[in-house]
Structure 1
Amino acid sequence: MTSATLVTAFRDRWIAADRAGRLALADDTQQLDYPALHAAVGGLAGRLRAAGVRRGDRVALALPRSARMAVALLATMAAGACPCPLEPRLGPEETQRRYRLARLGWTLLEAGQADDPSLAHVPPERRLDLDALPEAAPHWDDGLGPDDASFLLFTSGSSGKPKGVLQNHRGMWANASGVIAHTALGPADRLLVVMPLYHTNGVNNQLLAPLLAGASVHLAARFRADEMPALMARVRPTIFTGVPTMYSRMLGERFDADALAGLRLLRCGSAPITEELHRRIEAHFGRALVNSYGLSEATCTSTINPPLRRKIGSVGTPLAGQSVFLQAADGSRVDGPGREGEVCVAGPVLMSGYLVEDGDGEPQSPGEVLHSGDLGRFDEDGYLFITGRLKDVIIRGGENLSPKLIEEALVEVPGVADCCVVGRADADLGEVPVAFVVRRPGAEAVQPAALSAAVAARLSRIHQPADYRFVDALPENAVGKVDRKRLAQQLAAGG
């Protein structure tokens, strides 16, 4: 693996002759071509250095989502430091916990955020106002090594308090290179980005990889389904990435065919998608949907469906430069198609480690192999299929049940928009499955009998949910994943 970093690659490539005048980064208020982006990032990096930021420092970015925020993130990396974007509306208690856990030394903000109560604990001398930094010469840190910290983010917290994940330059380089090769990402591509910039997908796959490949990135201010037709018409992207809930909400919107004419790739990731929803999305947009799989702990993406050879239900094939394999409960490797095991990842994409509560701010290494906690199987062509979560398995009378299999049966019922199956304690059987079901508008006739019949047609008797709860919507966490833990807590509390 080369010792090059994205910082040195950006420094050299963005001012290459073939990028002169080509759009690099935009939002609804500004556009930067590649030479302008080079000047903006290098210039801000120099001013950050003049303000006291040094290699290895961890810098909180308390900035509104915009091209300016993206420049600040890139400039923090170019200064040799490690950016940590903060989620909006995080709250004082969680914000302070993250500062303690991550040993965040600086906070980059705008003048209008001076009175943000979440940042009241940050000393004035550790606040850096983007508009009041000292003038300085541009800077690009060419001494960064592969193991140096490059990006700090926090998991969605679906299984407890959000964990601090420290990524490194080796992983970022490997991920970007793998995504570019697997998806043929290049200068002709325009990405419309609605994913958050405190999320690994939004940063690694939709900002860093495109800017390495010479593509252009348009950052939308937010995601609202009813605004997407106009946004697609204005940006005319070749690539759009969303999570299943985003796509589901866009199914009710009408998109002009001309706005989608250049769209070559719809990507879906960050959460499981049912085959039924997958097919509805493809029919609605008239484009193939490419599903992918990855974890923040492995930088971002480990498998993607090849764009011209996607398989519905699969998350694709492994990216070059990393190893994705299955492991049995006894630690042995699972070989051969159709056999289930825990999905494991090895190679240069692995994180430096988790930050430990009450620790010294240094990462706890994952070792040479990352255990995902996801169950999966490979088919005869090497495509990975995710079959469930180890921790989500419902143990009914000693039998392991996959919630995902039950959910796949339920969403095939006409009138079912979405569902989530979780376990409920049972005095006799230990656990039983309970299904939370969202009906489509006007589908009140969908009743438990029809749902039970659908499960019985596909699965054994032990998979039958003990109860059905009809809800208006399923709870989601900050990145749009169904919050399975919250539903389980609701059941445990008698709700």
Structure 2
Amino acid sequence: MNLYQAFYERFAPYPDRTALRMPETDSSMTYGELHARSGQYATLLASSGLQAGDRVAVQVDKSGEALALYLGVLRAGGTYLPMNTAYTPDELAYFVENAEPAVVVCADKQKAVFEAIRERTGIRQRIFTLNTDGQGTLNTQANDHSSDFVTVERDDDDLAAILYTSGTTGRPKGAMISHNNLLNNGLTLLDYWGWKEGDVLLHMLPIFHVHGLFVACSCALLNASEMIFYSKFDATEALKSLPEATVMMGVPTFYTRLLAEPEFTQEKAENVRLFISGSAPLLEETFAEFEQRTGKAILERYGMTETGMNTSNPLNGQRIAGTVGFPLPGTEVRIMDENDQPCDTDGVGSLQVKGPNVFQGYWRMPEKTAEEFTDDGFFVTGDLGTINAAGYVSIVGRSKDLIISGGYNIYPKEIEMVLNELPGVLESAVFAFVHPDFGEGVAAAIVADGSANTITAESLASVCREHLAGFKVPRRILFLDELPRNTMGKVQKNVLRDQYGQKEL
């Protein structure tokens, strides 16, 4: 069925229950109001010519209206394409050209950017605006449309969303995610994490990301739970809201920042039954310090854009620091060696997954899709992992040099493509360094060709900011005479990480 219909069947009995409480604007939205608003958006989209399967590209700040828009796109049978608000015009142009959306929704300040892209590409789409305060042409026009809308029927494998994830080739890939992928994963997590009547979710994650939209929101909607809905993480605000919440989801940075607050005590965390961490590795010292401070063990899980959630530490049972728990029900996880044979217990190898949570493939990239799946249907995640004798999965490395900074995936090749085009740069290598707040930061080793006397770390970072989202811009830039290479001539990024990847240089 259409994913929205599954949500609606769960919360329809509670139209007067608060769905979103938004302390920053001192406002709220009930489930009845959320349903009605999504109906107005669906009616507006359908009247604008949106057909089932058409893409709706959305680059807006987080708000209650933005969540209602997502639900409206689902109801209208569209395919939702969320985009990070930090993306640059160059990045946005690629997404528009590749996905060819029928509708674009953006903030007023971004409208000229999308109009310029439309003129340059010749790809025609309706452009609506939606701002943080909920105002804009989308809002204004939706007010004139009926909230009565019959949700468009969709099949299990029809696309609910496309999420772009950068690749080792430097060109982002659109992961095609179906209605069934999201519904199955949401229902599995609802049961595995023990969601129950009265649960309240503290939601401080972005909603252009799997974690915030497809994990956090899906669980709350399927449980008809209230969300305390903030635009972003703020430790002071979190301390105010924690006593009213029973579940919190976050990236490791959220927890390190809470631990830095003297007011974060066992009493503050007492009402929260479940703290969940994901999107980046949780340091064992953070796990231990949090448990010592609050008496509660953080539940770490493992997922990715293409698969949703794959594994989780148990709700009831030992949560072990440094592991991501067990495969979720219905999901198969295996560790394979370089000869495509199963690894022995504790052996390190390629982590592969299979299940109804796994995506449908990459948008308009059939060859890339085929490369990423084995003949027997397992998705090759690119992560290196182990499974111990008790069945706990651990992620020990990333074979694709992925950097995860503050929960965001960053692929070095995309940054290297920008750096290598700059005057004075002979070659570059981008790698991770240990960041005390974000877990990992972006570092770049540069070999200059001597043609530009004015090349500096500041000038390189400045140019990167023009072409890349801010979270991808190198925070540490080194100038080397040459890059370390193996006997085959391949750059050894592990050597760079070992020599220059520590917190302090």
Q: If the TM-score is normalised by the length of the shorter chain, which range does it land in? A: 0.7 to 0.9
Larger deviation: 51-60 or 149-158?
149-158
- Say whether 1:245 aligns with 2:304: no
Deviation, structure 1 residue 433? 4.7
Q: How does 1:139-154 map to 2 (within 5 A)?
A: 139-154=149-164
Aligned residue-pair number: 413
Give a deviation string over 1:378-435, Cα, whole Å, max 9, x none: 1222211112122349xxxxxxxxxxxxxxxx99xxx999778999615789748557
| Unmatched segments (≥5 aa) in structure 2 | 129-136, 403-433, 446-482
Kept in 1: contact 2:256–2:437 (CA 8 A): no
- 1:90 aligned partner: 87
- 1:221 aligned partner: 231
- 2:46 aligned partner: 49
- 1:31 aligned partner: 28
Deviation, structure 1 residue 340? 2.5
Residue among 215, 233, 246 paired with 1:205: 215
Kept in 1: contact 2:3–2:180 (CA 8 A): no
- 1:121 aligned partner: 117
Secondary structure of 1:181 counterpart: helix
Q: Distance in 1 between matches of 2:212 and 2:501?
A: 35
- 1:332 aligned partner: 341
- 1:487 aligned partner: none
Q: Distance in 1 between matches of 2:438 and 2:67?
A: 35
Q: Check 1:366–1:140 CA distance in 2 against 1; reply closer, same or farther (3 A cut).
A: farther
Deviation, structure 1 residue 216? 1.8
Q: Check 1:117–1:21 CA distance in 2 against 1; reply closer, same or farther (3 A cut).
A: same
Give a deviation string over 1:437-490, Cα, whole Å, max 9, x none: xxxxxxxxxxxxxxxxxxxxxxxxxxxx45676549xxxxxxxxxxxxxxxxxx
Give a deviation string over 1:98-142, Cα, whole Å, max 9, x none: 1111122211246x4474435532478611331224523522434
Q: Check 1:158–1:279 CA distance in 2 against 1; reply closer, same or farther (3 A cut).
A: farther
Deviation, structure 1 residue 265? 0.8
Deviation, structure 1 residue 94? 0.7
Identity of aligned residues (%): 27
Deviation, structure 1 residue 261? 2.4
Q: Distance in 1 between matches of 2:253 and 2:290?
A: 11
Q: Distance in 2 between matches of 1:178 and 1:287?
A: 23
- 2:134 aligned partner: none
Q: Distance in 1 between matches of 2:116 and 2:303?
A: 35
Secondary structure of 2:117 counterpart: coil
Q: Distance in 2 between matches of 1:347 and 1:102?
A: 26
Give a deviation string over 1:182-208, Cα, whole Å, max 9, x none: 101233211111221111111111111
Q: Distance in 1 between matches of 2:501 and 2:81?
A: 41
- Say whether 1:102 aligns with 2:99: yes
Q: Distance in 2 between matches of 1:257 and 1:425?
A: 48
Name the amino acid aligned to 2:178.
N
- 1:22 aligned partner: 17
Q: Check 1:421–1:117 CA distance in 2 against 1; reply closer, same or farther (3 A cut).
A: closer
Larger deviation: 260-269 or 38-47?
38-47
- Say whether 1:282 aligns with 2:291: yes
Q: How does 1:241-390 map to 2 (within 5 A)?
A: 241-253=249-261, 254-255=263-264, 257-298=266-307, 300-309=308-317, 310-334=319-343, 337-356=345-364, 367=373, 368-390=377-399
Larger deviation: 65-74 or 48-57?
48-57
Deviation, structure 1 residue 226? 4.4
- 2:484 aligned partner: 425
RCO (CA 8 Å, sep 6+): is it higher in 1 or 2? 2
Name the amino acid aligned to 1:121.
I
Deviation, structure 1 residue 76? 0.5
Deviation, structure 1 residue 272? 1.3
Q: Distance in 1 between matches of 2:71 and 2:213?
A: 10
Name the amino acid aligned to 2:190.
I
- 2:132 aligned partner: none
Kept in 1: contact 2:101–2:125 (CA 8 A): no
Q: Check 1:392–1:83 CA distance in 2 against 1; reply closer, same or farther (3 A cut).
A: closer
- 1:80 aligned partner: 77
Name the amino acid aligned to 1:62.
Q
Secondary structure of 1:11 counterpart: helix
Larger deviation: 60-69 or 136-145?
136-145
Q: Distance in 1 between matches of 2:250 and 2:32?
A: 29
Kept in 2: contact 1:60–1:104 (CA 8 A): yes
Q: Distance in 2 between matches of 1:20 and 1:151?
A: 26
Q: Check 1:468–1:265 CA distance in 2 against 1; reply closer, same or farther (3 A cut).
A: closer
In the superposition, the TM-score normalised over structure 1's length comes to 0.75
Deviation, structure 1 residue 171? 0.5
- Say whether 1:61 aligns with 2:58: yes
Kept in 1: contact 2:265–2:294 (CA 8 A): no
- 1:167 aligned partner: 177
| Unmatched segments (≥5 aa) in structure 1 | 394-409, 437-464, 473-495
Q: Check 1:108–1:21 CA distance in 2 against 1; reply closer, same or farther (3 A cut).
A: same
Give a deviation string over 1:24-79, Cα, whole Å, max 9, x none: 22323332222222222223212221222221010011322111101101110111
- Say whether 1:70 aligns with 2:67: yes
Q: Check 1:428–1:122 CA distance in 2 against 1; reply closer, same or farther (3 A cut).
A: closer
Kept in 2: contact 1:186–1:213 (CA 8 A): yes
Q: How does 1:375-414 map to 2 (within 5 A)?
A: 375-392=384-401
Secondary structure of 2:484 counterpart: strand
Secondary structure of 1:302 counterpart: strand
Q: Check 1:207–1:418 CA distance in 2 against 1; reply closer, same or farther (3 A cut).
A: closer
Q: Distance in 2 between matches of 1:34 and 1:384?
A: 38
Name the amino acid aligned to 2:126.
R
Q: Distance in 1 between matches of 2:169 and 2:29?
A: 39
Q: Check 1:49–1:86 CA distance in 2 against 1; reply closer, same or farther (3 A cut).
A: same
Give a deviation string over 1:232-253, Cα, whole Å, max 9, x none: 35xx211111112232222211
Name the amino acid aligned to 1:127.
I
Superposition RMSD in Å:
3.3
Kept in 1: contact 2:332–2:355 (CA 8 A): yes
